Structure 1
Amino acid sequence: MAPHPPSSAEKAALRRDALSRRDALSPEARQAGSLAVARSVLAMEALAGARLVGAFWPIRSEIDPRPIAEGLFARGQRVVLPQVTPSGLVFREWRAGEALVPGSFGLSEPHADLPALDPDALIVPLAAFDRSGQRIGYGRGYYDGAITRLAPVLTVGIAFACQEVDAVPAEPHDRPLDHVVTEDGPVPLARERA
């Protein structure tokens, strides 16, 4: 008998539980964790050669990728941030200190009049992850769509260790991450053999 398809209710429950654990972290633990993640991500050889790196602006209790962006700027790499559009994520260059504008879902985004650019590496936000590299986002599929459109693109999911789940019920449109990094360092990912 074939396994039943994953339900949105299963993903919603995993998302809710993981976000609850993330929300319970103290601001000090989130700040220290964000700095630890930045050190690990910036040490990744695969990211060092990226011409344009897609990052994101944190919301709520999300891990803060801004220390990663600062490190990328310090070594001469360029950073793009996503803008949510009806057709999906569009990435536009952001430079340190530039003002952002309010976007959909409480996001801060680059100005829409900046040219769209395609990054060759993405720092990816997530609500939950597992050790196969699957992630649960916030339920709208924007990053899965961007990863598909930009392929091949290096993907690095960043999160707190408390956001790990045993197994993400992956669907056909879900795109596994190349790497996941938490405050404990790079997460060893077990890839299934085809």
Structure 2
Amino acid sequence: MGTSDQQLKKTLRAEALARRDALDVRWRIEASLAMAETAEALAVTPGTIVSGFWPMRSEVDVRPLMAALGAAGARLCLPAILDRTTIVFREMARGAPLVDMGYGTQGPGPDAAVLEPLMMLVPLAAFDARGHRIGYGAGYYDRAIAALRQRGVAPRLVGVAFDCQEVARVPDEPHDQPIPEILTESGLRRLGADL
């Protein structure tokens, strides 16, 4: 990817995050709660390992959705940053203590079991209708998804964002892991890589 594409990604990320930050706080809370009501549409079978994320700044708060999925029998996990390039997914057990994970997030401590999610709720800064996403620039999720696939695990990827984070087109790179589904306040929709 050339320098102009990298600059475009940086600009698209900043613009999408500015739109997200401008959303009314109460509205964001209500939209996050409404997204939790779509848990049934995700059709998660009991025992399915689902990774979520602890919300940062103005992100969608997926904790109500995770609680609904957990009530439906899913096993829940959250990402833990191990080093500058690697995240793992630690089991989030009811009543287990959470520890500071940096960036204002929390998650299960090092004693929690490391799980391989079969469904991943993926945070993002921006996305397009083809299923390409812009993360926060560190590439943790792209590497984690690639590592799971190398081990024969093909997780269902569901991006979670607000509608205002959609952009016309994300410049894609060979290492990018497209997301086939996106959950926003408008509902769950399939994204097509052929657009």
CA-to-partner distance for each residue in 1:111-167, whole Å, 9 max, x for gaps? Answer: 012221111110010100100111101000000111111221100001000000000
Give the Cα separation in 2 of the matches to 1:8 and 1:168.
10
CA-to-partner distance for each residue in 1:28-87, whole Å, 9 max, x for gaps? Answer: 110111122222243123x33662100111010000000111111211211010101125
**Mapping of residues 37-186 of structure 1, within 5 Å:** 37-45=35-43, 47-48=44-45, 51-86=48-83, 87-151=85-149, 152-186=154-188
In the superposition, relative to structure 1, how do residues 73 and 109 fare at CA in structure 2: closer, same or farther (>3 Å)? same
2:34 to 33, 36, 46: 36
Could you tell me the TM-score, scaled by structure 1's length? 0.90
Is the deviation greater in 27-36 or in 168-177?
27-36
In the superposition, relative to structure 1, how do residues 7 and 79 fare at CA in structure 2: closer, same or farther (>3 Å)? same
Give the Cα separation in 2 of the matches to 1:23 and 1:97.
32
Q: How many residues are treated as equivalent by the alignment?
A: 190
Is this contact kept in 2: 1:41–1:181, CA < 8 A? no
Give the Cα separation in 1 of the matches to 2:58 and 2:31.
12
Is this contact kept in 1: 2:48–2:73, CA < 8 A? no
In the superposition, relative to structure 1, how do residues 178 and 167 fare at CA in structure 2: closer, same or farther (>3 Å)? same
Q: Once the two structures are aligned, what percentage of the paired residues are identical?
A: 44
- Secondary structure of the corresponding residue to residue 60 of structure 2: coil
Is this contact kept in 2: 1:52–1:119, CA < 8 A? yes
In the alignment, structure 1 segments of 5+ residues that lack a partner are none
Give the Cα separation in 2 of the matches to 1:14 and 1:97.
39
Q: Which amino acid aligns with 1:54?
A: S
Give the Cα separation in 2 of the matches to 1:17 and 1:68.
26
Q: Which amino acid aligns with 1:90?
A: V
Q: Which amino acid aligns with 1:159?
A: A
Q: Measure how far apart 1:96 and its partner are.
A: 3.5
Give the Cα separation in 2 of the matches to 1:145 and 1:163.
22
In the alignment, structure 2 segments of 5+ residues that lack a partner are none
Give the Cα separation in 1 of the matches to 2:107 and 2:120.
16
Is the deviation greater in 104-113 or in 77-86?
104-113
In the superposition, relative to structure 1, how do residues 29 and 97 fare at CA in structure 2: closer, same or farther (>3 Å)? farther
